[in-house]
Amino acid sequence: MQALVPMRREDFAEILNQQVTPDMPLVYLDNAATSQKPACVIDAVRNYYTHDNSNVHRGVHTLSARATDAFEEARASVARLINASTPSEVVWTRNASEAINLVALTYGASQLKEGDAIVLSVAEHHSNIVPWQLLAQKNGVELRYARLDADERVDEDHVAELMEDGKVKLVAIAHVSNVLGSTLDVPFVVDLCRKHGAKLLLDACQSVPHMPIDVQSLGADFVVASGHKMCAPTGTGFLWAKYETLDELMPPLYGGGEMIEDVSTTCSTYAKPPLKFEAGTPAIGEMIGLGRAAEYLMELDMREIHAYECELGAYLYERLAADVPNIRLYGPSPAAARASGSHASGLDRAALCAFTHPAAHANDLSTLLDSMSGIAIRSGHHCTQPLHKEALGVLGTARASLYFYNSPEEVDFFVKELNKVIDFFEEVAV
């Protein structure tokens, strides 16, 4: 494992080389919540505000032209990252939550009706549950939830069962679970959707930053992601859909400047996608940062990132399973993930582990790891309360999540310090 070298850690030197606990270096293992930002992204945002600060699309002077060019070049960079057929298929949003809400309030509200059904899974992030609950309350669509299988993956055979009556018009599901680490068998679900005439929305927050994504071959109808999990500034994200879907099946959600073609006192006509969905002044500098982050990830090569994380993630899982007595790890093991049930699609496990231990509450484990050892992990329900309460039978878990700049040595240190914290709680209990 010593031969496994983190990728471009020097690009994050200022934040990762600090000490948050005396005599202990920061070990940042909370990447599923948000990633760190490389210097080139921070520089891109700073450059906009120090040299090009101006509004976009609305001016003919030099600064406005430069800002507009950089803003739209950022959209083109994200389009290249996910292999969209045109940048016009990329709609800027504040985050994936807003992107899902956008689909629910435009496509969902206009195309789905009482008697139709939507399939989700019990493992979904709240961002992929609450918007559909609001839609169901408004127009009477039925929500159906796929359960977990024996390996604690989303049960794709149950998804098939839920679609058998032909009422399902949309499947909205995570590509990669932010708690279980499991990867959806997308080709299997795409085939189901095509068979039953349903659309597929993929929550790709935990996949776009970590693996190659080609929306043209993926088969999904909607893909959403958050910028802050992929080395970009907070307050950034995007929705991808085919241009025809954006143009013909999704009315504008917000009214105002930028999203119009012509306005009179009696009526308005609207701009073509993506501007049709981008009312008002956007987060210009932040989106320029998102575009630079997309370029940065392509420079590193998403295939290399994915390969590195698969190895490091498996090492994290195996170290915890072997060296932390009585730990309960959630989601499939790396071997079970690759076997991936009856579909045998050879899916990799994400580089994260959610766990509990009988010695202490997840919040207490996280607090002491931070205060005693400088290790940052996440604890709680990770915005997946139905998964924790109804499927796993726990109120919360602790979660360590990796990115390409993490190292095997950090995993080793984490496992060692976790055992120390567990020993402390066990001694206190005695």
List pLDDT tens digits, range 156-201.
Answer: 999 999 999 999 999 999 999 999 999 999 999 999 999 999 999 9
Single residue among 263, 298, 333 that ends a domain in this structure: 298
- Which of 190, 199, 139 is CA-nearest to residue 168? 199
Domain with 19, as residue range(s), is: 9-30+301-429
**Do both 372 and 324 map to the same domain?**
yes
pLDDT higher than 80, residue 6: yes
Q: How many domains does the chain have?
A: 2
**Do both 15 and 50 map to the same domain?**
no
Catalytic, 205? Answer no
CA distance linking residue 213 with residue 204, whole number of Å: 9
Note whether residue 259 is domain-resident. yes
Over residues 225-243, the pLDDT tens digits come to: 999 999 999 999 999 999 9
pLDDT higher than 50, residue 342: no
**Do both 286 and 146 map to the same domain?**
yes
Contacts of 416 (CB under 8 A, 6+ apart): none
**Do both 272 and 291 map to the same domain?**
yes
**Do both 233 and 377 map to the same domain?**
no
Note whether residue 4 is domain-resident. no
CA distance linking residue 26 with residue 278, whole number of Å: 38
CB-based burial of residue 23 (10 Å sphere; 0-12 exposed, 13-18 middle, 19+ buried)?
Answer: exposed
Note whether residue 2 is domain-resident. no
**Do both 405 and 330 map to the same domain?**
yes
**Do both 70 and 15 map to the same domain?**
no
The CATH number of the domain where 323 resides is what?
3.90.1150.10
CA distance linking residue 332 with residue 340, whole number of Å: 9
Note whether residue 3 is domain-resident. no
**Mean pLDDT, residues 145-149 taken together:** 98
Q: What is the structure's pLDDT at 395?
A: 95
In 260-299, at which residue ranges do the beta strands (DSSP E only) sit? 260-263, 268-270
- Render the burial of 243-270: b for 16+ CB within 10 Å, e for the rest: eebbeeebebbeeeebbbeeeeeeeeeb
Over residues 349-403, the pLDDT tens digits come to: 999 999 999 999 999 999 999 999 999 999 999 999 999 999 999 999 999 999 9
Q: Is the pTM of this model over 0.95?
A: yes
Q: What is the structure's pLDDT at 343?
A: 53
Percent of the chain with pLDDT over 90: 93
Taking all residues of the chain, what is their mean pLDDT, rounded to a whole number? 96
The CATH number of the domain where 136 resides is what?
3.40.640.10
Note whether residue 306 is domain-resident. yes
**Do both 88 and 205 map to the same domain?**
yes
